[in-house]
Amino acid sequence: MANRIVNFNAGPSTLPLDVLKIVQEELLDYKGTGMSLMEISHRSPEFDAVNEEAIKLTRELLGLDDTFHVLFLGGGASTQFAMVPLNLLPKDKCGAYVDTGTWSTKAIKEAGIIGRMHLAGSSRDDDYRRIPKPSELDVPADAAYLHITSNNTIKGTQYHDFPEIPNVPLICDMSSDICSRVIDFKKFSLIYAGAQKNLGPAGATMVIVRDELLQKCKDGNPSMLDYRTHAPKKSMYNTPPAFGIYVVKLVLEWIKNQGGLAAVEKVNRAKQELIYGVFDTHPDYYRGTADKDSRSWMNVTFRLPSEDLEKKFIADGKAAGLGGLKGHRSVGGCRASIYNAMTLEGCEKLVEFMEAFKKAN
């Protein structure tokens, strides 16, 4: 076996070893075709089966019926920042947004370019340490939708309670926590997620959109930027990110084989408890950057007493086989990303290392 590290990268990030092994096994000859999946037509029965299965598994795991379209598009989550208002923000309405840090800020910027943006809530004044409570939000009656970011990958915060505004469709960027826990996905009218955190390799972006919302899409967009181009074609209007969809399908099967989102949630709960437990034992040494009730189960962000110690922590971690512990370049500090594919054992190793590092430094 190759020399694999415990990989805490934030994105692209670690993938389940079992999935990578299947990819390796099937890489040169996909199911007796004599070709790699990367080399076959996206119109072939082999790829069609992969795409259909990925759609089916997504609906099954998230508890959605076929009134929800499941698409796999290119362009990353960042293209969705624009596609959402391009399709769903008409001139006579506003798009309501909650600003919980970098990614939502970027979504807000795109909405402002395309139409009328209304800031429904923000934790900017608290340096994004927390998620605004649903009761704090101000969503105008003429909002075409409310957009939130379920997990702030950079500041390490996550919604544990979702707002519900009567008659206002809820749209969510779930790039960094999709499929990580049981939630009522039917509450959402549109969900999008770049694959490279919790679902697979970079390149495929999952978009789940309620049929009812599709009916409200604005006319006049270029074909590739119109959800109505992709939905009836099941993402095959043009060449979809085929290899990415294939790996996403394998990751979804891997989730299903464990017992679905409930089983994954159980492991994720245990993982974050372990690491935040160290913060709570040594609050003056490992200083979490998120408020307790907004802590992310996916990205654990923290500071040490000095930047020099942080540098040493990251370097010593790397030497001990724990990679990717550096915080995002925009905020500094340390971050352990513990997406679905990170094992409990990996988190135990990190906790051991944290305890030993504190003793030694």
From the CB of 111, what's the least distance to ligand PLP, in Å?
14
The count of C-alpha atoms lying within 13 angstroms of the C-alpha of 176, restricted to the half-sphere facing its C-beta, is: 29
Q: How far is the CB of 344 from ligand PLP (least distance, A)?
A: 23
Which residues lie closer than 8 Å to 246 by C-beta, 6 or more apart? Answer: 23, 37, 47, 50, 54
Cβ distance to ligand PLP smaller for residue 77 or 264: 77
Interface residue with ligand PLP among 85, 121, 194, 333 (CB under 6 A) is 194
- Residue tagged active-site, from 99, 103, 226, 297: 103
Member of 76, 90, 112, 201 binding ligand PLP (CB under 6 A): 76
Select the span of 62-70, 73-81, 126-134, 264-272 touching ligand PLP (CB under 6 A). Answer: 73-81
Closest to ligand PLP by CB, 75 or 90: 75
Restricted to residues 111-150, the positions that interact with ligand PLP (CB under 6 A) are 149
Nearer to ligand PLP, 16 or 101 (CB): 101
For every residue of 230-287, DSSP letters joined together read HTTTTT-SS---HHHHHHHHHHHHHHHHHTHHHHHHHHHHHHHHHHHHHHHHSTTTSE
Residues 6+ away with beta carbon under 8 Å from 45: none
Q: Which of 99, 155, 173, 326 is catalytic?
A: 173
- Considering only 33, 44, 78, 258, the residue that binds ligand PLP (CB under 6 A) is 78
DSSP H or E stretch at residue 190: strand 190-194
Instruction: Verify whether residue 103 is a known catalytic residue.
Output: yes
**DSSP letter string, 93-126:** SEEEEEE-SHHHHHHHHHHHHHSEEEEEEE-GGG
Nearer to ligand PLP, 194 or 353 (CB): 194
Q: Which residue has the tokens 């992969």?
A: 50
> Pick from 58, 175, 272, 340: which binds ligand PLP (CB under 6 A)?
175
Nearest approach, Cβ of residue 156 and ligand PLP (Å):
11
Q: Under a CB-based contact definition with an 8 Å cutoff, are residues 138 and 160 in contact?
A: no
Min. distance of Cβ 191 from ligand PLP in angstroms? Answer: 12
All residues at 6 or more sequence positions from 155 whose CB lies less than 8 Å from its CB, including other chains: 100, 101, 102, 127, 128, 129, 289, 290, 301, 331
Residue 68 Cα to chain centre, angstroms = 19
Q: Measure the CA–CA gap between 84 and 207, rounded to whole angstroms.
A: 10
340 binds ligand PLP (CB under 6 A): no
Is 197 or 354 the residue whose CB approaches ligand PLP more closely?
197
Beta pairing class for 322-323 and 6-7: parallel
Q: Which of the ranges 71-79, 108-116, 181-189, 220-228 carries the binding residues for ligand PLP, by CB under 6 A?
A: 71-79
Nearer to ligand PLP, 227 or 353 (CB): 227
- Cα–Cα distance for residue pair 295/156, rounded to 1 Å: 6
Min separation Cβ 242 and ligand PLP, Å: 17
- Distance CA(127)–CA(314), nearest Å, equals 23
- In the complex, least distance from residue 76 CB atom to ligand PLP, rounded to whole angstroms: 3
Binding status of residue 173 toward ligand PLP by CB under 6 A: yes
Q: Look up residue 229 and give its two tokens.
A: 């181009």
- The site for ligand PLP (CB under 6 A) is made up of 11, 76-78, 103, 149, 153, 173, 175-176, 194, 197
- Residues labelled as active-site residues: 103, 173, 197
